[in-house]
Structure 1
Protein backbone atom coordinates (compact mmCIF):
# COMPACT_ATOMS: atom_id res chain seq x y z
CA UNK A 1 0.00 0.00 0.00
CA UNK A 2 1.38 3.40 -1.02
CA UNK A 3 1.26 5.98 1.76
CA UNK A 4 1.41 9.42 0.19
CA UNK A 5 -0.65 11.65 2.46
CA UNK A 6 -1.24 12.06 6.15
CA UNK A 7 -4.80 10.88 5.58
CA UNK A 8 -3.46 7.54 4.31
CA UNK A 9 -1.28 7.13 7.39
CA UNK A 10 -4.09 8.37 9.65
CA UNK A 11 -6.35 5.61 8.29
CA UNK A 12 -3.66 2.95 8.77
CA UNK A 13 -3.01 3.92 12.39
CA UNK A 14 -6.71 4.29 13.22
CA UNK A 15 -7.40 0.82 11.82
CA UNK A 16 -4.51 -0.61 13.84
CA UNK A 17 -2.72 -1.89 10.74
CA UNK A 18 0.63 -2.46 12.39
CA UNK A 19 2.11 -4.33 9.43
CA UNK A 20 1.46 -1.41 7.07
CA UNK A 21 2.84 1.04 9.63
CA UNK A 22 5.92 -1.15 10.10
CA UNK A 23 6.50 -1.19 6.34
CA UNK A 24 6.14 2.61 6.29
CA UNK A 25 8.58 2.86 9.21
CA UNK A 26 11.09 0.59 7.48
CA UNK A 27 10.93 2.46 4.19
CA UNK A 28 11.58 5.87 5.78
CA UNK A 29 13.71 5.11 8.82
CA UNK A 30 17.21 5.16 7.26
CA UNK A 31 16.53 8.31 5.23
CA UNK A 32 15.20 10.14 8.28
CA UNK A 33 18.10 8.87 10.39
CA UNK A 34 20.56 10.41 7.94
CA UNK A 35 18.64 13.70 7.94
CA UNK A 36 18.71 13.89 11.73
CA UNK A 37 22.37 12.83 11.90
CA UNK A 38 23.35 15.78 9.67
CA UNK A 39 22.18 18.03 12.50
CA UNK A 40 22.95 16.21 15.74
CA UNK A 41 26.13 14.38 14.60
CA UNK A 42 25.36 11.42 16.87
CA UNK A 43 23.87 8.17 15.55
CA UNK A 44 22.23 7.18 18.84
CA UNK A 45 20.58 10.55 19.36
CA UNK A 46 19.48 10.68 15.73
CA UNK A 47 17.91 7.24 16.09
CA UNK A 48 16.07 8.30 19.24
CA UNK A 49 14.77 11.43 17.51
CA UNK A 50 13.47 9.48 14.52
CA UNK A 51 11.87 6.85 16.73
CA UNK A 52 10.16 9.56 18.79
CA UNK A 53 8.74 11.13 15.62
CA UNK A 54 7.30 7.77 14.55
CA UNK A 55 5.99 7.13 18.06
CA UNK A 56 4.25 10.51 18.12
CA UNK A 57 2.64 9.69 14.78
CA UNK A 58 1.41 6.34 16.10
CA UNK A 59 0.08 7.86 19.35
CA UNK A 60 -1.49 10.97 17.77
CA UNK A 61 -2.65 10.09 14.26
CA UNK A 62 -5.15 12.97 14.29
CA UNK A 63 -2.21 15.33 13.70
CA UNK A 64 -1.72 13.68 10.30
CA UNK A 65 -5.22 13.92 8.92
CA UNK A 66 -4.65 17.11 6.92
CA UNK A 67 -1.03 16.50 5.84
CA UNK A 68 -0.77 16.60 2.05
CA UNK A 69 2.74 15.14 1.67
CA UNK A 70 3.70 12.62 4.30
CA UNK A 71 7.31 12.56 3.09
CA UNK A 72 7.73 16.32 3.52
CA UNK A 73 5.96 16.15 6.88
CA UNK A 74 8.29 13.39 8.10
CA UNK A 75 11.44 15.24 7.08
CA UNK A 76 10.20 18.49 8.59
CA UNK A 77 9.26 16.74 11.85
CA UNK A 78 12.66 15.05 12.16
CA UNK A 79 14.60 18.20 11.31
CA UNK A 80 12.57 20.28 13.79
CA UNK A 81 13.08 17.64 16.51
CA UNK A 82 16.82 17.61 15.74
CA UNK A 83 17.05 21.40 15.99
CA UNK A 84 15.04 21.34 19.23
CA UNK A 85 17.49 18.79 20.62
CA UNK A 86 20.45 21.02 19.70
CA UNK A 87 18.77 24.03 21.33
CA UNK A 88 18.13 22.05 24.53
CA UNK A 89 21.75 20.92 24.56
CA UNK A 90 22.92 24.50 24.08
CA UNK A 91 20.72 25.66 26.98
CA UNK A 92 22.05 22.89 29.23
CA UNK A 93 25.62 23.75 28.33
CA UNK A 94 24.95 27.44 28.99
CA UNK A 95 23.42 26.55 32.37
CA UNK A 96 26.46 24.43 33.29
CA UNK A 97 28.76 27.30 32.35
CA UNK A 98 26.77 29.64 34.60
CA UNK A 99 27.08 27.18 37.47
CA UNK A 100 30.82 26.81 36.89
CA UNK A 101 31.19 30.60 36.82
CA UNK A 102 29.55 30.79 40.27
CA UNK A 103 32.25 28.57 41.75
CA UNK A 104 35.12 30.66 43.02
CA UNK A 105 37.76 29.49 45.51
CA UNK A 106 35.74 30.68 48.49
CA UNK A 107 32.50 29.32 47.14
CA UNK A 108 33.14 25.59 47.06
CA UNK A 109 30.90 23.64 49.39
CA UNK A 110 32.20 20.86 51.64
CA UNK A 111 30.21 17.76 52.49
CA UNK A 112 28.80 19.11 55.78
CA UNK A 113 27.64 22.29 54.04
CA UNK A 114 26.18 20.24 51.23
CA UNK A 115 24.16 18.12 53.68
CA UNK A 116 22.96 21.30 55.37
CA UNK A 117 21.87 22.71 52.02
CA UNK A 118 19.95 19.53 51.20
CA UNK A 119 18.15 19.61 54.54
CA UNK A 120 17.35 23.31 54.04
CA UNK A 121 16.03 22.64 50.55
CA UNK A 122 13.81 19.78 51.71
CA UNK A 123 12.47 21.96 54.54
CA UNK A 124 11.47 24.63 52.04
CA UNK A 125 9.92 22.06 49.68
CA UNK A 126 7.88 20.65 52.59
CA UNK A 127 6.35 24.10 53.10
CA UNK A 128 4.75 23.96 49.64
CA UNK A 129 1.04 23.10 49.32
CA UNK A 130 0.58 19.28 49.22
CA UNK A 131 -0.32 18.90 45.51
CA UNK A 132 2.35 21.41 44.48
CA UNK A 133 4.95 19.59 46.61
CA UNK A 134 3.99 16.20 45.15
CA UNK A 135 4.18 17.43 41.56
CA UNK A 136 7.47 19.23 42.18
CA UNK A 137 9.06 16.10 43.69
CA UNK A 138 7.82 13.91 40.83
CA UNK A 139 9.39 16.31 38.35
CA UNK A 140 12.66 17.19 40.09
CA UNK A 141 13.44 14.04 42.10
CA UNK A 142 11.82 11.30 40.00
CA UNK A 143 12.60 13.10 36.69
CA UNK A 144 9.10 12.62 35.31
CA UNK A 145 7.97 14.81 32.44
CA UNK A 146 4.93 17.04 32.77
CA UNK A 147 2.95 14.71 30.50
CA UNK A 148 3.81 11.69 32.65
CA UNK A 149 2.84 13.48 35.86
CA UNK A 150 -0.42 14.67 34.30
CA UNK A 151 -1.31 11.12 33.26
CA UNK A 152 -0.35 9.69 36.65
CA UNK A 153 -2.40 12.24 38.63
CA UNK A 154 -5.15 12.52 36.01
CA UNK A 155 -4.78 16.27 35.65
CA UNK A 156 -3.91 18.48 32.70
CA UNK A 157 -0.32 19.22 31.69
CA UNK A 158 -1.14 22.90 32.17
CA UNK A 159 -2.02 22.23 35.82
CA UNK A 160 1.31 20.44 36.28
CA UNK A 161 3.11 23.36 34.64
CA UNK A 162 1.34 25.84 36.94
CA UNK A 163 2.29 23.86 40.06
CA UNK A 164 5.95 23.65 38.99
CA UNK A 165 6.00 27.39 38.27
CA UNK A 166 4.48 28.13 41.70
CA UNK A 167 6.98 25.83 43.44
CA UNK A 168 9.94 27.39 41.65
CA UNK A 169 8.75 30.92 42.35
CA UNK A 170 8.23 30.14 46.03
CA UNK A 171 11.58 28.38 46.43
CA UNK A 172 13.50 31.06 44.53
CA UNK A 173 11.97 33.71 46.75
CA UNK A 174 12.85 31.84 49.94
CA UNK A 175 16.46 31.31 48.84
CA UNK A 176 17.14 34.76 47.41
CA UNK A 177 15.71 36.84 50.24
CA UNK A 178 19.07 36.95 52.04
CA UNK A 179 21.06 37.11 48.79
CA UNK A 180 23.50 34.66 50.37
CA UNK A 181 25.93 32.52 48.44
CA UNK A 182 24.07 29.50 49.84
CA UNK A 183 20.86 30.68 48.24
CA UNK A 184 22.57 31.36 44.92
CA UNK A 185 24.22 27.93 45.08
CA UNK A 186 20.91 26.11 45.60
CA UNK A 187 19.20 28.14 42.91
CA UNK A 188 21.93 27.53 40.35
CA UNK A 189 22.04 23.79 40.98
CA UNK A 190 18.43 22.91 41.46
CA UNK A 191 15.84 25.51 40.74
CA UNK A 192 16.44 26.21 37.05
Structure 2
Protein backbone atom coordinates (compact mmCIF):
# COMPACT_ATOMS: atom_id res chain seq x y z
CA UNK A 1 0.00 0.00 0.00
CA UNK A 2 1.43 3.36 -0.96
CA UNK A 3 1.98 6.11 1.59
CA UNK A 4 -0.78 8.22 0.00
CA UNK A 5 -3.24 5.28 0.17
CA UNK A 6 -2.25 4.71 3.79
CA UNK A 7 -2.86 8.39 4.64
CA UNK A 8 -6.20 8.32 2.79
CA UNK A 9 -7.29 5.21 4.69
CA UNK A 10 -6.27 6.76 8.02
CA UNK A 11 -8.26 9.90 7.18
CA UNK A 12 -11.28 7.82 6.14
CA UNK A 13 -11.03 5.79 9.34
CA UNK A 14 -10.85 8.95 11.47
CA UNK A 15 -13.95 10.34 9.77
CA UNK A 16 -15.75 6.99 10.03
CA UNK A 17 -15.14 6.92 13.81
CA UNK A 18 -16.86 10.33 13.98
CA UNK A 19 -19.92 8.84 12.27
CA UNK A 20 -19.26 10.17 8.75
CA UNK A 21 -21.40 7.96 6.48
CA UNK A 22 -19.52 8.95 3.33
CA UNK A 23 -16.21 7.82 4.87
CA UNK A 24 -17.85 4.56 5.94
CA UNK A 25 -19.21 4.02 2.42
CA UNK A 26 -15.76 4.68 0.92
CA UNK A 27 -14.12 2.16 3.29
CA UNK A 28 -16.86 -0.29 2.38
CA UNK A 29 -16.17 0.22 -1.35
CA UNK A 30 -12.42 -0.25 -0.83
CA UNK A 31 -12.56 -3.40 1.28
CA UNK A 32 -15.88 -5.20 0.63
CA UNK A 33 -14.77 -7.15 -2.44
CA UNK A 34 -11.47 -8.51 -1.02
CA UNK A 35 -13.32 -9.46 2.17
CA UNK A 36 -16.03 -11.22 0.14
CA UNK A 37 -13.45 -13.09 -1.96
CA UNK A 38 -11.68 -14.27 1.21
CA UNK A 39 -14.95 -15.40 2.82
CA UNK A 40 -16.08 -17.16 -0.35
CA UNK A 41 -12.76 -19.01 -0.62
CA UNK A 42 -13.30 -20.40 2.89
CA UNK A 43 -17.07 -21.00 2.93
CA UNK A 44 -17.41 -22.01 -0.73
CA UNK A 45 -20.91 -20.51 -0.76
CA UNK A 46 -21.42 -17.08 -2.31
CA UNK A 47 -24.61 -16.16 -0.42
CA UNK A 48 -23.22 -17.16 2.98
CA UNK A 49 -19.97 -15.31 2.25
CA UNK A 50 -21.97 -12.15 1.42
CA UNK A 51 -23.96 -12.51 4.65
CA UNK A 52 -20.79 -12.86 6.74
CA UNK A 53 -19.19 -9.78 5.19
CA UNK A 54 -22.40 -7.73 5.52
CA UNK A 55 -22.62 -8.70 9.20
CA UNK A 56 -19.02 -7.50 9.74
CA UNK A 57 -19.84 -4.10 8.19
CA UNK A 58 -22.97 -3.76 10.33
CA UNK A 59 -20.90 -4.51 13.44
CA UNK A 60 -18.24 -2.00 12.35
CA UNK A 61 -20.85 0.73 12.08
CA UNK A 62 -22.27 -0.13 15.50
CA UNK A 63 -18.79 -0.11 17.10
CA UNK A 64 -17.54 2.93 15.18
CA UNK A 65 -16.95 5.14 18.21
CA UNK A 66 -15.55 2.56 20.59
CA UNK A 67 -13.92 -0.02 18.30
CA UNK A 68 -10.17 -0.58 18.34
CA UNK A 69 -9.31 -0.19 14.66
CA UNK A 70 -5.60 0.72 14.89
CA UNK A 71 -4.80 -1.68 12.06
CA UNK A 72 -8.11 -1.58 10.22
CA UNK A 73 -7.12 -3.96 7.43
CA UNK A 74 -5.87 -6.62 9.86
CA UNK A 75 -9.01 -6.15 11.96
CA UNK A 76 -11.48 -6.64 9.11
CA UNK A 77 -9.71 -9.64 7.61
CA UNK A 78 -9.43 -11.27 11.02
CA UNK A 79 -13.16 -10.59 11.39
CA UNK A 80 -13.77 -12.41 8.10
CA UNK A 81 -11.79 -15.42 9.33
CA UNK A 82 -13.64 -15.37 12.66
CA UNK A 83 -17.04 -14.99 10.96
CA UNK A 84 -16.29 -17.94 8.67
CA UNK A 85 -15.01 -20.03 11.60
CA UNK A 86 -18.17 -19.27 13.58
CA UNK A 87 -20.38 -20.21 10.63
CA UNK A 88 -18.50 -23.46 10.00
CA UNK A 89 -18.54 -24.34 13.71
CA UNK A 90 -22.27 -23.72 13.97
CA UNK A 91 -22.98 -25.68 10.82
CA UNK A 92 -20.59 -28.54 11.69
CA UNK A 93 -18.82 -28.49 8.36
CA UNK A 94 -15.63 -30.26 7.40
CA UNK A 95 -12.42 -29.98 9.39
CA UNK A 96 -10.71 -29.08 6.11
CA UNK A 97 -12.55 -25.75 6.17
CA UNK A 98 -11.26 -24.99 9.68
CA UNK A 99 -7.70 -25.83 8.60
CA UNK A 100 -8.12 -23.50 5.60
CA UNK A 101 -9.08 -20.67 7.96
CA UNK A 102 -6.06 -21.27 10.19
CA UNK A 103 -3.76 -21.24 7.15
CA UNK A 104 -5.37 -18.04 5.85
CA UNK A 105 -4.95 -16.28 9.19
CA UNK A 106 -1.21 -17.00 9.14
CA UNK A 107 -1.04 -15.82 5.54
CA UNK A 108 -2.97 -12.60 6.30
CA UNK A 109 -0.80 -11.73 9.29
CA UNK A 110 2.35 -12.43 7.27
CA UNK A 111 1.14 -10.32 4.32
CA UNK A 112 0.19 -7.41 6.57
CA UNK A 113 3.55 -7.58 8.37
CA UNK A 114 5.37 -7.70 5.01
CA UNK A 115 3.39 -4.71 3.75
CA UNK A 116 4.10 -2.80 6.96
CA UNK A 117 7.84 -3.55 6.61
CA UNK A 118 7.77 -2.42 2.98
CA UNK A 119 5.94 0.82 3.87
CA UNK A 120 8.39 1.44 6.72
CA UNK A 121 11.39 0.86 4.42
CA UNK A 122 9.96 3.24 1.80
CA UNK A 123 9.41 5.85 4.50
CA UNK A 124 13.02 5.53 5.71
CA UNK A 125 14.35 5.80 2.15
CA UNK A 126 12.26 8.92 1.47
CA UNK A 127 13.34 10.45 4.77
CA UNK A 128 16.98 9.66 3.98
CA UNK A 129 16.67 11.33 0.59
CA UNK A 130 15.28 14.55 2.08
CA UNK A 131 18.44 14.81 4.20
CA UNK A 132 20.67 14.73 1.09
CA UNK A 133 21.71 17.63 -1.15
CA UNK A 134 19.32 18.25 -4.08
CA UNK A 135 21.76 16.97 -6.74
CA UNK A 136 22.33 13.76 -4.79
CA UNK A 137 18.55 13.23 -4.48
CA UNK A 138 18.14 13.86 -8.19
CA UNK A 139 20.82 11.32 -9.13
CA UNK A 140 19.33 8.67 -6.84
CA UNK A 141 15.79 9.16 -8.12
CA UNK A 142 16.92 9.00 -11.75
CA UNK A 143 18.91 5.84 -11.09
CA UNK A 144 16.59 3.89 -8.82
CA UNK A 145 13.14 5.23 -9.66
CA UNK A 146 13.50 5.89 -13.38
CA UNK A 147 16.08 3.11 -14.02
CA UNK A 148 18.43 5.47 -15.86
CA UNK A 149 22.01 4.29 -16.37
CA UNK A 150 24.95 6.27 -14.97
CA UNK A 151 25.80 7.43 -18.51
CA UNK A 152 22.23 8.65 -19.12
CA UNK A 153 22.18 10.50 -15.79
CA UNK A 154 25.54 12.13 -16.52
CA UNK A 155 24.29 13.33 -19.92
CA UNK A 156 20.93 14.58 -18.58
CA UNK A 157 22.50 16.50 -15.70
CA UNK A 158 25.63 17.63 -17.55
CA UNK A 159 28.01 16.05 -15.05
CA UNK A 160 30.67 13.34 -15.30
CA UNK A 161 29.90 9.65 -14.90
CA UNK A 162 32.31 9.60 -11.94
CA UNK A 163 30.30 12.37 -10.27
CA UNK A 164 27.12 10.29 -10.74
CA UNK A 165 28.83 7.30 -9.11
CA UNK A 166 29.98 9.45 -6.17
CA UNK A 167 26.49 10.90 -5.65
CA UNK A 168 24.95 7.39 -5.76
CA UNK A 169 27.53 6.18 -3.25
CA UNK A 170 26.65 9.03 -0.86
CA UNK A 171 22.90 8.39 -1.24
CA UNK A 172 23.19 4.63 -0.70
CA UNK A 173 25.46 5.10 2.32
CA UNK A 174 22.94 7.48 3.91
CA UNK A 175 20.01 5.14 3.23
CA UNK A 176 21.87 2.09 4.60
CA UNK A 177 22.84 4.01 7.72
CA UNK A 178 19.24 5.11 8.36
CA UNK A 179 17.93 1.59 7.75
CA UNK A 180 20.49 0.20 10.24
CA UNK A 181 19.50 2.86 12.80
CA UNK A 182 15.82 2.00 12.40
CA UNK A 183 16.58 -1.73 12.78
CA UNK A 184 18.73 -1.20 15.90
CA UNK A 185 16.04 1.06 17.42
CA UNK A 186 13.44 -1.65 16.84
CA UNK A 187 15.73 -4.31 18.35
CA UNK A 188 16.36 -2.10 21.40
CA UNK A 189 12.62 -1.55 21.83
CA UNK A 190 11.92 -5.31 21.68
CA UNK A 191 14.65 -6.00 24.25
CA UNK A 192 13.33 -3.23 26.50
CA UNK A 193 9.77 -4.57 26.30
CA UNK A 194 10.82 -8.14 27.06
CA UNK A 195 12.78 -7.02 30.13
CA UNK A 196 9.74 -5.34 31.70
Q: Same fold (TM over 0.5)?
A: no
TM-score normalised by L of structure 1: 0.41
Higher RCO (C-alpha under 8 Å, 6+ residues apart): 1
TM-score normalised by L of structure 2: 0.40
